[in-house]
Every structure is written in structure tokens, then in C-alpha cells.
């Protein structure tokens, strides 16, 4: 079989390589780590989660829960490794980040049809190529892609992404915090750090005036809404955080039986429960300012920061003009793209794009017709959104029920309606499952 070169061993590239190899296609997987690192990555492992250990909601009333279930039923490597390394997180799927990345790396390296070649890619190779180099693609490769795609129009857009700080569990003052999940959903896996009105207003005031680190070209308007830095969000108004990441609804303090004025949640970051992530606290404040302001939260007054928040550039394509529904380059079908570079936002979405590229590339090389993933499925809806030329201003997109066609009948209640949308999608997946896996 004709081999395929996959550039990048993040979630999209790893999933793509795996799907190709399990269908008998030889793969050369190019990964520049550890020879060259990005500003956001610190380990040599594949599929490194740099911003959060959460793959988001697990229930089928959530669109991302549906997307995960579709991938799970279709033998996704990423979902299998995520389930195997899951840590308690209430109604979300969160993983031990290092354990997850190690497992993906071992699976990839042990596959007989996958050859891993380390080092930076500076030129697109001949033959079949999948570019899954991620939103932090090296400048050299990015310039080569611009030369390939450029025709006098804008082919790439930039936005800035932010990662949240990590603290050690033993430095959290549990006398000032409590374990709970919102509305007692799932198991009580989150550490909740309550703030009174006076504490919150003092914290909010300092957050809005804290010094930011310099990020070349950064403006608030260039931040993707799904990764909005907490200080940028705070500047939108006094109560913005209380209706966002610090909302207290459904989290009564067991000491008082009442909901606090605001709540900062911490989510487990590893299987041992020794490291916790500040939920929703993506930031690009200077590191001394992060320590000064975030330790104003009573439960974090003596917090040991194992990693401060960081800010980095993300790059994505003008995909509706450039790509088809299978993420192939319209002008050169031998080249496909996968992951956040295509404008799918989020780890699960990146995995889904890599999955679809891997499946369809293998089928094309074997002379098989493409699988029709209709818009009623989450996998299909993402591909169709990314390639939809009627989209006016193309921006990164998380999976959501808004890009999936509505039901042909009325259902009372949003959760019930979403659950039925999920069941419709999974019925389609099950009907095609044998063909997809063959």
C-alpha cells in the first residue's frame, strides 16, 4: 500500500496515524519533540494535553459527550487511552495527563506499521501527507504552508490561547474549601474554594488591574472565547466571573448550607490527586502577579504553584475556502489537514478530525468509496462546518448541537431534546459501524 506521512503527533496526528495503520496503511509519523519544543509543551510524549486535563462533558445531553461516544464506538485510540487513564471529575472525562500521553505514545510506537521519525519538518514531503502540526506549527513549516496555500488572499488567522495554573493538593487549605460537584452530579471530585462578597470584590479588583506578560501582537479581541484569559473576562464587568467560571450555583458550602457569593473550582490533574488545575483560570498575567492575585483566594493563600498560566499563539486555516468535508486540500487531494489548524477547537474535536482523515485516506488509497458521515452525526457536522463556504467569518468552533440538524418532532426540555439528537446520531453510527471499522 502507498505510505502516508503524518506531520505531528498530537491528538489529531496520533489518531490519524493509528486509524491508517489499523487499516493496513504504512505510516511515517514525523514529530519534532523532543528535539524542538513549543512554548506550550514540556514532555516528549505524544498527545500531550497542554491546557487542561479535561475532555469535557461525558453525558449524551452534551454535544462533546456525543462526539466522544461516536469515537469510542468506532475504536478511537485517543478515547481508549482516555478511558483507561481517567481520573474522577464529576460529570466530565478528565485524565491523568502524563499517564494518558505515555499510553498513546506506547501504542503508536509499538504498532508495526507506524515508523516514528523525530525532528522538525521544514518541507512538505512528496506523496500522501496529513498535516497535523497543530496550532503551534513551527515558523518554518508555517511559511511553507503559506507559500503553498497563498493566492493573494488571507489563508491563515491567528488567535491567542491561554493555559491555567497548576497547584499542589497539599498546599490547598481544605479548612477553607470542600469537595463537591455542581448539583451533586456525579461524584464530588472538585475542590471548591468559596469567596464571600468582600473577598470576591477585592480579588476581582486586583485581577482587573494586575500586570500582564508581554505577548507579541496580543489584543483582547484576538482571544478565542473558549479560552478567554480570566483577567480579560474580569474586565468585562464585576459579575462576569460570577456567571462564568466562578459561578456558585449548585455548590452549597456544607458549613453553612448556603451557596457562597463566588466559588473557584479546582480539578484533579493526575491520577494520584496530588496536582490540581484552576478551572477557567487561563491567564497571561506575569508570574509574580499570578501568585499575588490568586493567593487572595482564601483556600489558596499558601498555594504552591507547580506551573503558572501561559499564553501562546494559535494558528488556523481559512478552511471553508481551502478544505473539503474530509479535511482534504481542494487544490491538492494528496494533502489533508487535521486538528486545531483546521479550525476545530478542542482536544476531542481535534481527535475527531484526525479520525476522519485517517479513515477516509485509507479508504481512498484502497479504492473504497468514502463513508458518508451525515450532518446528523457529530463527526460529520464538524467536517461539514469546517468546509462550509457559506460561513461568513470563519472562527474556531467547538462541537455543539447548533451545527447538527434539529429533530423532525418537538421534544420538551433542552436536555431531553439533546439526548434524542444523540440517540439519532448513535443509531446512524451503529448502522455504519461495520463498514467504518472494516
Distance of CA 318 to the CA centre of its chain: 19
Per-residue pLDDT of the chain (438 residues; tens, 9 = 90+): 899 999 999 999 999 999 999 999 999 999 999 888 876 677 899 999 976 778 999 999 999 999 999 999 999 999 999 999 999 888 889 999 999 999 999 999 999 999 999 999 999 999 999 999 987 888 889 888 888 887 545 567 677 777 889 999 999 999 999 999 999 888 899 999 999 999 999 999 999 999 988 765 445 555 666 678 899 999 999 999 999 999 999 999 999 999 999 999 999 988 888 889 999 999 989 999 999 999 999 999 999 998 898 877 778 899 999 999 999 999 999 999 999 999 898 899 999 999 999 999 999 999 999 999 999 999 999 999 999 988 776 878 889 998 999 999 999 998 999 999 999 999 999 999 999 998
66 annotated ligand-binding residue: no
CB 231 within 8 A of CB 210: yes
pLDDT given for residue 150 in this prediction: 75
358 annotated ligand-binding residue: no
pLDDT given for residue 264 in this prediction: 98
10 annotated ligand-binding residue: yes
pLDDT given for residue 37 in this prediction: 80
DSSP states of 275-338: EEEETT----B-HHHHHHHHTTSGGGTT--EEE--EEEEEEEE-HHHHB-TTSEETTEEEEEE-
CB 75 within 8 A of CB 22: yes
- Judged on CB neighbours under 10 Å (0-12, 13-18, 19+), 76 is buried
What are the cell numbers at 336?
Answer: 489533508
The span from the CA of 124 to the CA of 120, in Å, is 11
CB 266 within 8 A of CB 193: yes
The span from the CA of 326 to the CA of 56, in Å, is 24
Contacts made by residues 20-23, CB under 8 angstroms, sequence distance 24+ = 20/113, 20/358, 20/361, 20/362, 21/111, 21/113, 21/114, 22/75, 22/111, 23/358, 23/359, 23/362, 23/363, 23/366
CATH topology of domain 4-155+318-437: FAD/NAD(P)-binding domain (3.50.50)
9 annotated ligand-binding residue: yes
What are the cell numbers at 267?
Answer: 480539578
CB 268 within 8 A of CB 139: no
State which H helix or E strand residue 168 sits in.
Answer: strand 166-168
Domain boundaries in the chain?
Answer: 4-155+318-437, 163-313
The span from the CA of 437 to the CA of 74, in Å, is 7
pLDDT given for residue 316 in this prediction: 87
377 closest CA partner among 359, 363, 364: 359
13 annotated ligand-binding residue: yes
Tell me the sheet residues that pair with 163: 310
CATH class of 163-313: mainly beta
Amino acid at each position: 500500500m502507498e505510505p502516508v506521512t503524518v506531520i505531528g503527533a498530537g491528538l489529531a496526528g496520533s489518531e490519524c496515524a493509528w486509524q491508517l495503520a489499523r487499516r493496513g496503511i504504512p505510516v511515517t509519523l514525523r514529530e519534532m519533540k523532543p528535539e524542538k519544543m513549543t512554548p506550550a509543551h514540556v514532555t516528549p510524549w505524544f498527545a500531550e494535553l497542554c491546557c487542561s486535563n479535561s475532555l469535557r462533558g461525558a453525558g449524551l445531553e452534551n454535544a462533546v459527550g456525543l462526539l466522544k461516544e461516536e469515537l469510542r464506538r468506532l475504536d478511537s485510540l485517543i478515547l481508549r487511552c482516555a478511558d483507561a487513564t481517567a481520573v474522577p471529575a464529576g460529570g466530565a472525562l478528565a485524565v491523568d495527563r502524563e499517564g494518558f500521553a505515555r499510553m498513546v505514545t506506547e501504542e503508536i510506537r509499538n504498532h508495526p506499521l507506524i515508523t516514528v521519525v523525530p525532528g522538525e519538518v521544514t518541507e512538505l514531503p512528496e506523496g500522501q501527507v496529513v498535516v497535523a502540526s497543530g496550532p503551534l506549527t513551527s515558523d518554518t513549516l508555517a511559511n511553507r504552508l503559506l507559500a503553498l496555500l497563498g493566492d493573494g488572499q488571507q489563508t491563515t488567522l491567528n488567535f491567542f490561547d491561554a493555559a491555567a495554573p497548576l497547584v499542589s493538593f497539599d498546599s490547598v487549605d481544605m479548612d477553607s474549601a470542600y469537595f463537591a460537584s455542581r448539583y451533586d452530579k456525579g461524584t464530588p471530585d472538585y475542590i471548591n474554594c468559596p469567596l464571600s462578597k468582600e473577598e470576591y470584590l477585592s480579588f476581582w479588583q486586583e485581577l482587573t488591574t494586575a500586570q500582564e506578560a508581554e505577548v507579541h501582537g496580543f489584543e483582547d479581541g484576538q482571544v478565542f472565547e473558549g479560552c478567554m484569559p480570566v483577567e480579560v473576562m474580569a474586565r468585562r464587568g464585576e459579575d462576569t466571573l460570577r456567571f462564568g467560571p466562578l459561578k456558585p450555583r449548585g455548590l452549597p458550602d456544607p458549613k453553612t448550607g448556603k451557596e457562597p457569593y463566588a466559588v473557584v473550582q479546582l480539578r484533579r490533574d493526575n491520577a494520584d490527586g496530588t496536582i490540581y488545575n484552576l478551572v477557567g483560570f487561563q491567564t497571561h498575567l506575569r508570574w509574580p502577579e499570578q501568585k499575588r492575585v490568586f493567593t487572595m483566594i482564601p483556600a489558596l493563600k499558601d498555594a504552591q504553584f507547580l506551573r503558572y498560566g501561559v499564553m501562546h499563539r494559535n494558528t488556523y486555516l481559512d478552511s471553508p475556502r481551502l478544505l473539503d468535508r474530509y479535511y482534504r486540500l481542494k487544490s491538492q487531494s494528496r494533502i489533508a489537514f487535521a486538528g486545531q489548524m483546521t479550525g476545530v477547537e478542542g482536544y476531542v474535536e481535534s481527535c475527531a478530525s484526525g479520525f476522519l482523515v485517517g479513515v477516509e485516506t485509507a479508504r481512498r488509497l484502497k479504492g473504497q468509496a468514502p463513508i458518508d458521515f451525515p450532518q446528523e452525526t457529530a463527526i460529520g457536522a464538524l467536517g461539514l462546518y469546517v468546509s462550509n463556504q457559506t460561513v461568513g467569518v470563519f472562527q474556531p468552533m467547538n462541537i455543539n448541537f447548533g451545527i447538527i440538524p434539529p429533530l423532525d418532532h418537538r421534544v420538551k426540555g433542552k436536555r431531553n431534546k439533546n439526548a434524542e439528537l444523540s440517540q439519532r446520531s448513535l443509531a446512524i453510527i451503529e448502522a455504519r459501524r461495520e463498514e467504518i471499522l472494516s
